[in-house]
Amino acid sequence: MQSHRIAVMASGKGSNLQVILQAMAEGRCPVEVGLVIADKPRAGALDIARQAGVPQVRFLDPKGHADRTAFDMACADLIERTNCQWIVLAGYMRILSSAFVQRFAGRIINIHPSLLPSFAGAHAVEDALAYGVKVSGCTVHLVDEVLDGGPILAQAVVPVHDDDTRDSLHARIQQQEHRLYPETLARIVEHGFSVEGRTVHWRT
């Protein structure tokens, strides 16, 4: 079994953090959230983490650091001091520096609201609708130095309806995110995986 202590990095309301904590409480996701870091002082994820009793809950201000790399290294030092093996991005809206990604290579997990490699970037749902796709979904992937470009751990598909708006499609994608993210984290710590080229091979 892999180490099960994770650090969660978030910028927003924290819905994915909430479902991970709920899955933990229900015994469906055998991880321990040891640290939550937010880069926004009013991020809802901070309140969710405090209410859940996460041991370390920290707002780190990017403006208090010389540049992106310096901020990321402050986050990295905190992650290592709290003995977290995995870094889980949950609505974290900053692009990680190369130094951070290299320091935790193969241990940073993200979820993205499209079926990668299609529609990377911050406007994935809108871009999918504009392109006219008939299915969309979400992707759990490893983070590397290419935006939304790391090896794929898991995906889930949702239909796109003719009358979908950005909000209606995003809500349906989030339903799958909230199922898939805890399931994938559980699989990581219970079984583990290896990566060959771009292909993830799950251990059984």
Just list the catalytic residues. Answer: 112
- 12 φ/ψ sector (left φ>0, alpha ψ -120 to 50, else beta): beta
Query: Could you give the residue ranges of the DSSP H alpha helices within 9-90?
Result: 15-25, 44-52, 68-81
Contacts of 84 (CB under 8 A, 6+ apart): 5, 6, 7, 34, 35
Tally of CB atoms within 10 A around 112 = 24
Contact assessment for residue 152 and residue 141, using Cβ atoms and an 8 Å cutoff: yes
Q: How many whole angstroms separate alpha carbon 77 and alpha carbon 70? A: 11
Cα–Cα nearest to 200, from 145, 156, 140: 140
- What whole-number distance in Å separates Cα of residue 119 and Cα of residue 101? 22
Triad 139, 141, 143: Cα angle to 5°: 135
Q: In which residue are the tokens 């992106």 written? A: 68
